[in-house]
Amino acid sequence: ALITLRQLLDHAAECGYGVPAFNINNMEQGLAILRAAKACDAPVILQASRGARSYAGDIMLRHMVEALAEMFPDIPVVLHQDHGNNDATCLSAIRHGFTSVMMDGSLEEDMKTPASFEYNVDITRRVTRAAHAVGASVEGELGVLGSLETGEAGEEDGSGAAGKLSHDQLLTDPDQAVDFVMATGCDALAIACGTSHGAYKFSRKPDGEILSMATIASIHEKLPDTHLVMHGSSSVPQELQDLINSSGGDMAQTYGVPVEEIERGIKMGVRKVNIDTDCRMAMTGMFRKVAKEKPAEFDPRKFLIPAMEELEKLCRDRFERFGTAGHA
Ligand code: G3H
Ligand code: 13P
Ligand code: NA
Ligand code: ZN
């Protein structure tokens, strides 16, 4: 059944687990994620970006997620708008059956220009008031996602800031976080701690200099009852880089967020963990493997079945390690 983000994260906080939020664009991703959730008896957050909504279409997405909920009746499902850029995006998502929205006011509408605190509070408060009036949840974001190594936002996917960012922007200020949550009434807070979107997060295995778990600890100390959200939380596993590169791919060596750091984060109040890149790599790695090993193959299902299995395996691992398993 569809539930709200608030319902799920309140339960997660009560029981001390985290929930992966997997991005979804198509049926195969949906089936793989729900099969994993069923195997682990885990609740699940499916999130669609603006790009996903235009790729699949709102009507397709709504019916697809309703179909998944019907096929897997024992699994609680949240349908969440990832990185809403304005009121209209968030409210149209809710009209199309989303039970939760992220109003990302850390950036202006263009999703590139870092926004002022006042702009962020104003738009997040407005969206929260409207969403709560119809029973939907809201995730806000304070701080700008980007690399503490380079000051850059990460991949140019429409969700990254332009220009060099300062450490002040890249690490959420705990006192400001208190003011933000008080002023907006949002249900969950995405914070910045040195992660960025996409595969190229860190040039080495991250330590406290470039991945600031201490920031999360300080925020949790001041806001013990607020559900924290970690974006850019793909681990970019070496095995998936190797799978892609050994089957004709050409990805440069890179490092993501180690799963053990996320496990530490969950102990410090992180409840929602956003993962897209790892899912993309799992599927694409298997497409490539089949294409390389069976060059005569042209039935898409022969590519998609192993791709779904690889994605399901990844999702099962995260449900187990985040403690989501057993909580459906
Ligand atoms: O925040 C970025 C997510 O990975 C979604 O990416 O906008 O390409 O769908 P997308
Ligand atoms: P990754 O690129 O690390 O998977 O992050 C996804 C994300 O934060 C979506 O909002
Ligand atoms: Na989100
Ligand atoms: Zn994100």
Beta strands in the chain (DSSP E): 19-23, 44-48, 77-84, 100-103, 137-142, 188-191, 227-230, 270-275
pTM for the full predicted model: 0.98
Question: Which neighbouring-strand residues pair with 22?
Answer: 46, 275
Q: Which residues are catalytic?
A: 82
Choose among 235, 254, 315, 247: nearest CA to 284: 247
List the structure tokens of 281.
């790599």
- As for how many domains the chain has, the answer is 1
328 part of a folded domain: no
| Residues, beta carbon < 5 Å, ion ligand 4 | 231, 274
Domain region containing 203: 5-321
**Placement of tokens 């991250």 in the chain:** 206
Tens of pLDDT, residue by residue, the chain (328 residues): 999 999 999 999 999 999 999 999 999 999 999 999 999 999 999 999 999 999 999 999 999 999 999 999 999 999 999 999 999 999 999 999 999 999 999 999 999 999 999 999 999 999 999 999 999 999 999 999 999 999 999 875 556 677 899 999 999 999 999 999 999 999 999 999 999 999 999 999 999 999 999 999 999 999 999 999 999 999 999 999 999 999 999 999 999 999 999 999 999 999 999 999 999 999 999 999 999 999 999 999 999 999 999 999 999 999 999 999 999 9
Ligand nearest to the CA of 48: 1
Among 197, 231, 272, 284, which residue has the most ligand 1 atoms within 8 Å of its CB, making it the best to mutate? 197
CATH number at residue 58: 3.20.20.70
47 part of a folded domain: yes
82 part of a folded domain: yes
326 part of a folded domain: no
327 part of a folded domain: no
Among 24, 45, 46, 49, which residue has the most ligand 1 atoms within 8 Å of its CB, making it the best to mutate? 49
139 part of a folded domain: yes
133 part of a folded domain: yes
Question: In this structure, which residue's CA is closest to atom 5 in ligand 1?
Answer: 49
Judge whether 170 and 151 are in contact, CB under 8 Å. Answer: yes
State the complex-level ipTM: 0.98
Q: How far is the CA of 30 from the centre of ligand 2 (A)?
A: 17
290 part of a folded domain: yes
Question: In this structure, which residue's CA is closest to atom 6 in ligand 1?
Answer: 49
Cα–Cα distance measured from residue 145 to residue 165, given in angstroms and rounded to the nearest whole number: 9
Q: What is the DSSP letter of 187?
A: S
List the structure tokens of 309.
């299995």
